[in-house]
C-alpha cells in the first residue's frame, strides 16, 4: 500500500475554495460506491458557494434521506422543473434562495425529459453550479450523456461549475474533465483499479490503497499549480 499523508477536510476545502472557478478547476469527480459518503461530501463542497446558483439533479425515484433530512429546502428547493432564469427572484432554497433540487420519478422517460430541459437551460444561461448525483444512471438509463458532456464543455466560457458523483466509470460522461478528483470507498478489485486509474496511478500497491479506503474517507487529488500531491481526508 501507498502511505499517503492525511489532511483534515477543512484544510482541503480551503484549497478547493481557492481553486474552484471556471478559469482554473471547474469540475469535481467523486467516485465511490453507495454508502461511501458522496452526498455528504457534496454538501461540504456546496458550503463553499452560498451565493451561487445551484442545481442538483438527483435521479433517484424515491425520497433520499441524506438530501431530505434537516430543514426543508436547506439543500435546495425540491422542484419538478426549473424555469429560465431560475433563482433570479431568490425563490429557491439554500442559504440565499438560489439552490434547487430536481429529483427523479418512477417514470424514467419523464425524468429524462425534465433533466434534459434543465440541462438545456443551464447550457443556455451558464452561471451555475451543477450537481449530478449519480451521473452513471443519467448517462446509461436516462441517456443524457451527450447533453451532460455539452454542459461540461461549456464550463469556462459559460461560468458553469460541476460536481459529478459516480459509482462506476464505464458510462460516466465528463469523467476526464474532473480537475479535482475524490476517490472513496468501493468494493472489488475492478472498482479499486478504476479508482487508481482516475488518479493517474496503476499497480498492485495503488490498487490495495484505493481498495482500503473506508466510508467517508477520500483520496483527494487536483491538477493545479501548487499541489502537494495526493492526500487522504475524512468527512
Residue 106 within any structural domain of the chain: yes
Residue 120 within any structural domain of the chain: yes
Residue 31: all three cell numbers together: 467516485
pTM, rounded to two decimals? 0.94
Helix 204-211, helix 189-198: angle, nearest 10: 100
Asked if residue 35 lies in contact with residue 233, where contact means CB atoms within 8 angstroms, the answer is no
Q: In the chain, how many domains are there?
A: 1
Distance of CA 69 to the CA centre of its chain: 19
Residue 54 within any structural domain of the chain: yes
Listed in order, strand segments (DSSP E) in the chain are 27-31, 54-58, 77-79, 99-103, 128-133, 160-166, 180-183, 217-222, 231-234
Query: What is the C-alpha separation between 47 and 57, in angstroms, rounded?
Result: 17
Span 64-78, mean pLDDT? Answer: 83
In sequence order, what are the beta bridge partners of 231?
A: 220
Distance of CA 14 to the CA centre of its chain: 18
Residue 149 within any structural domain of the chain: yes
- The predicted pLDDT at position 155 comes to 79
- The predicted pLDDT at position 175 comes to 52
Residue 53 within any structural domain of the chain: yes
Looking up cell 443524457, which residue turns up? 144
Residue 147 within any structural domain of the chain: yes
- What separation, in Å, do the N-terminal and C-terminal C-alpha atoms of the chain show? 22
Looking up cell 417514470, which residue turns up? 107
Residue 85: all three cell numbers together: 432564469
- The predicted pLDDT at position 170 comes to 73
Residue 110: all three cell numbers together: 419523464
Closest C-alpha to 125, from 158, 91, 162: 158
pLDDT tens for each residue of 33-64: 999 999 999 999 999 999 999 999 999 888 77
Residue 4 within any structural domain of the chain: no
Looking up cell 434547487, which residue turns up? 100
Residue 60: all three cell numbers together: 433517484
Residue 233: all three cell numbers together: 481526508
Q: What is the CATH number of the domain that holds 161?
A: 3.40.50.300
Give me the domain span that covers residue 168: 9-234
Residue 164 phi/psi, 5-degree rounding, is -105, 125
Residue 1 within any structural domain of the chain: no
pLDDT tens for each residue of 136-190: 899 989 999 999 989 988 877 899 999 999 998 776 655 555 789 999 999 999 9
Amino acid at each position: 500500500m501507498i502511505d499517503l499523508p492525511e489532511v483534515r477536510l477543512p484544510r482541503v476545502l480551503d484549497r478547493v475554495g481557492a481553486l474552484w472557478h471556471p478559469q482554473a478547476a471547474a469540475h469535481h469527480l467523486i467516485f465511490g460506491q453507495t454508502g461511501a459518503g458522496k452526498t455528504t461530501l457534496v454538501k461540504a463542497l456546496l458550503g463553499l458557494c452560498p451565493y451561487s446558483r445551484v442545481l442538483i439533479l438527483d435521479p433517484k425515484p424515491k425520497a433520499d434521506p441524506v438530501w431530505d433530512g434537516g430543514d426543508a429546502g436547506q439543500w435546495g428547493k425540491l422542484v419538478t422543473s426549473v424555469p429560465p432564469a431560475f433563482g433570479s427572484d431568490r425563490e429557491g432554497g439554500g442559504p440565499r434562495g438560489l439552490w434547487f433540487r430536481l429529483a427523479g420519478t418512477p417514470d424514467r422517460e419523464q425524468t429524462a425529459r425534465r433533466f434534459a430541459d434543465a440541462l438545456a437551460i443551464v447550457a443556455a444561461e451558464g452561471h451555475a453550479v451543477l450537481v449530478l448525483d449519480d451521473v452513471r444512471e443519467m448517462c446509461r438509463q436516462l441517456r443524457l450523456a451527450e447533453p451532460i458532456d455539452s454542459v461540461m464543455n461549456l464550463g469556462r466560457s459559460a461560468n458553469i461549475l460541476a460536481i459529478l458523483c459516480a459509482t462506476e466509470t464505464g458510462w460516466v460522461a465528463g469523467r476526464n474533465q474532473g480537475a479535482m478528483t475524490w476517490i472513496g470507498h468501493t468494493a472489488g478489485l475492478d472498482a479499486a483499479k478504476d479508482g487508481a486509474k482516475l488518479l493517474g496511478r496503476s499497480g498492485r500497491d495503488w490498487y490495495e490503497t484505493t481498495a482500503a479506503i473506508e466510508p467517508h474517507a477520500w483520496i483527494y487529488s487536483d491538477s493545479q499549480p501548487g499541489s502537494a500531491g495526493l492526500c487522504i481526508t475524512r468527512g
